[in-house]
Structures are given as structure tokens and as C-alpha cells.
């Protein structure tokens, strides 16, 4: 029986991971930056410009949004440490997307490298 780590290792063998030091350039050239973490993780901080499409609904969201239909979209994905993003990248490749990359080390590596993090500000009612 395979473990989650086995599945992630197999996924990483099939996808293109970009190191954190090259991620900003890849993101600048991407059509879409997708955070596949859960909404509560996203609200705690995310890469600037990222949209949140959690791993559990990614395929459904990609299929239901006309802006996401072109299979030539340049897509960069990330999660907390890169496991979910690797699985998501495989799923998108299986759906026919041609240019899908994942940030190696994910959000944790991005933050550890001192790169910019966006944190939504809660409204103040007064």
C-alpha cells in the first residue's frame, strides 16, 4: 500500500518544481498563481497575487471557470511545503494543462527566504 509521502514522491518525479530563488521570475511570467492550501491557511498569509483554490476542489474550480479553460495557461502552484502542490500539478497535467509548475518548499520556504507575504486585513467596524 502507498502512503501519502509515496504519492507525493511520485508526483514530484512527474512535475516541474521551481526553487524559491527562481519563483519570483516564474510568478511574474505566470498567467495565474494558485495557492492550493485551505482557506484558513490562505487568510493567515499568502504570496502576493495568489488566488485560493484549495486542493480538494481544484479540478472542479478549474473546470467551472471560463478564465481557466485555456490549456496553455502558465500556472504556478504552491501549498505549505510543496506536497499538495505537487499532487495538484499532476492533476492539472492530467487535465491537459501544458505549463504547470510548483514552488519547491512551498509557502514555508518562501517565507523563510524573506520574500513578501500578503496578509488580508480584517475590516474594523466602529
- Separation of alpha carbons 73 and 118, rounded Å: 24
The active-site residue out of 58, 79, 85, 87 is 79
Contact 88, 52 (CB under 8 A): no
Contact 14, 92 (CB under 8 A): no
Helices 4-14 and 83-94 cross at an angle (nearest 10°) of: 60
Active-site annotation holds for 90: no
Q: Which residues does 88 contact at the CB level (< 8 Å), separation at least 6?
A: 34, 36, 55, 58, 77, 79, 102
The residues annotated with a catalytic role in the active site are 79
Amino acid at each position: 500500500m502507498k502512503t501519502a509521502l509515496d504519492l507525493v514522491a511520485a508526483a514530484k518525479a512527474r512535475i516541474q518544481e521551481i526553487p524559491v530563488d527562481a519563483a519570483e521570475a516564474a510568478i511574474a511570467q505566470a498567467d495565474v498563481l494558485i495557492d492550493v492550501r485551505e482557506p484558513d491557511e490562505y487568510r493567515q498569509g499568502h504570496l502576493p497575487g495568489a488566488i485560493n483554490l484549495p486542493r480538494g476542489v481544484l479540478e472542479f474550480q478549474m473546470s467551472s471557470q471560463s478564465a481557466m479553460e485555456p490549456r496553455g495557461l502558465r500556472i504556478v502552484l504552491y501549498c505549505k511545503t510543496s506536497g499538495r502542490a505537487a499532487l495538484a500539478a499532476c492533476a492539472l497535467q492530467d487535465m491537459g494543462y501544458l505549463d504547470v509548475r510548483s514552488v519547491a518548499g512551498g509557502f514555508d520556504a518562501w517565507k523563510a527566504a524573506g520574500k513578501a507575504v500578503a496578509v488580508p486585513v480584517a475590516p474594523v467596524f466602529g
